[in-house]
Amino acid sequence: MNSIKELRQLIRVYLFEGGLKLPPEHRRDLTPSLVREASGVYREFLKGFNDWLGTRGKAPLEPIRPTGSSTHAERDIVDRPTATYGDIDYLVSFPVNYAGADLTERRKEEAAAVRDYTGLLTEYLTSVRPPMVDVDLTVGGHPLMIIVRVPSGGLAQVDTVVTHSSYSEWMKGRYTPERGIKGYVTGNLYKALGDYLVLTIGTEGVMARIKDGQRVPSKFRAGVTYQSISTDFRNFFKDIADYVIEGAYEADPLLEQYRGLDPDNVNISDLAYGIVGLARTMERAGDVDAREMLTTIHSSFVEGMEENVGRKLSKDITPEQEAKLRKLNVTQGERVRQIFGV
């Protein structure tokens, strides 16, 4: 790995766009009970790794909780035991010794810390060869995608979703989808809002990329500085309004009601209402036409969901799975359209 930029890109591809390195003969339906088993083994593995890090004077990783659709596994064991998930993701905070004064430097320090700990993880796997992990399969791909041996027999893949202490509370909400709804649906609605406002609503909170005094999309790299708009999941809509609207403004009642979201009960309808409240508030301030804003966001949202299905088709999903995903897209697209009133 030659640069921090390359590392960050690789981690984004593997952890946030998905990646399966488990051989077909070992793949099983990811049910709530399997998520529980695999998560327990994964935590045991991280405990051993942290003990090993301690002997080298390194700060430990902090396992937080399953994230993505597997966030709901413990509840689903009770009343949705046959539910299945696309991945088992586990949110883990990697320690960083911050010295940089601005967000741009801090992001470099975070990427350097991930690079350092990824290298240490590889060393631990290959030298210690912990028995609860299939080491050869794990180091054969990205080492943050851990292939664990589950007590009931066989293997399961647990993907490490990296965060840091500055963002861990935000990430508990941002990477939690509505229960029973595929995570890509919620993710595409965040992205559609961010694309309209030229902001990123992702792993590091709500963030702006600035070049020559203007917000620019993520494709711009050279000469870009970063501004943090919000890492408060319960208030990020209000924080966005404070940032994008110049001067005093009158908040729409919907914005006051949906200032942000509940990280323990993420709901697509609440997210949609928050966007409506933000659009109406921006319209009151004379910044946008709310209907045009909501129409554009809805179109981007629907298009993004369809692109997700297209990517999954390249992974050889069955016709039945494709039909189920397309039905989900139609249902959720209509759900958001009705709330947007477009």
Q: What is the DSSP letter of 69?
A: G
Give the separation between CA 158 and CA 55, rounded to whole angstroms.
25
Using a 10 angstrom Cβ sphere, with 0-12 exposed, 13-18 middle and 19 or more buried, the burial of residue 156 is buried
Query: At residue 104, does pLDDT exceed 80?
Result: yes
CA distance 48 to 63: 12
Among 107-116, 181-190, 331-340, the range with the most confident prediction by mean pLDDT is 331-340
If one compares 317 and 188, the residue with the highest pLDDT of the two is 188
Residue 57: predicted pLDDT: 96
pLDDT tens digits for range 55-86:
999 999 999 999 988 899 999 999 999 988 87
Q: What is the mean pLDDT of residues 92-120?
A: 91
Q: Is the pLDDT of residue 129 over 70?
A: yes
- pLDDT tens per residue, range 251-288: 999 999 999 999 989 999 999 999 999 999 999 999 99
| CB-based contact 66:83 (threshold 8 Å) | no
Q: What's the average model confidence in pLDDT over 110-114?
A: 94
pLDDT above 80: residue 18: no
Paired residues of 93 in beta bridges: 62, 163
pLDDT at 12 over 50: no
How far apart CA 59 and CA 66 sit, in angstroms, is 22
The pLDDT tens digits for 152-171 are: 888 999 999 999 999 999 99
Q: Which two tokens stand for residue 124?
A: 């631990």
Instruction: Taking each helix axis as running N to C, give the angle between helix 290-313 and helix 268-284, from 0 to 180 degrees, rounded to the nearest 10.
Output: 150
pLDDT in tens, 207-241: 999 999 999 998 887 889 999 999 999 999 999 99
- Residue 279 CA to residue 335 CA, distance in Å, equals 18
Position 177 pLDDT exceeds 80: yes
With 0-12 / 13-18 / 19 or more C-beta atoms within 10 angstroms meaning exposed / middle / buried, residue 41 is buried
Cα 188 to Cα 300: distance, rounded to the nearest angstrom: 8
Distance CA 250, CA 232 (A): 21
Q: Write out the two tokens for 95.
A: 């320690």
Mean pLDDT of 329-336: 97
Cα 256 to Cα 265: distance, rounded to the nearest angstrom:
18
CA distance 182 to 197: 24
pLDDT tens figures, 20-50: 667 766 777 889 999 999 999 999 999 999 9
pLDDT: is 250 or 18 the higher one?
250
Instruction: Write the CB contacts of 3 (distance below 8 Å, at least 6 apart in sequence).
Output: none
Neighbours of 256 (CB within 10 A): 12
Give the pLDDT band of residue 8 (cuts 50, 70, 90). very low
Q: What six digits make up the tokens of 102?
A: 């601005």
Angle, CA of 191, 110 and 185, to the nearest 5°:
20
Angle at CA of residue 193, ends 16 and 13, nearest 5°:
15
Mean pLDDT of 107-116: 93
Residues 244, 246, 247, 251, CA torsion sign: negative
* Closest to 294 measured CA to CA, from 229, 187, 197: 197
The phi, psi pair for 85, rounded to 5°, reads: -120, 160
The mean of the pLDDT values for the chain is: 90
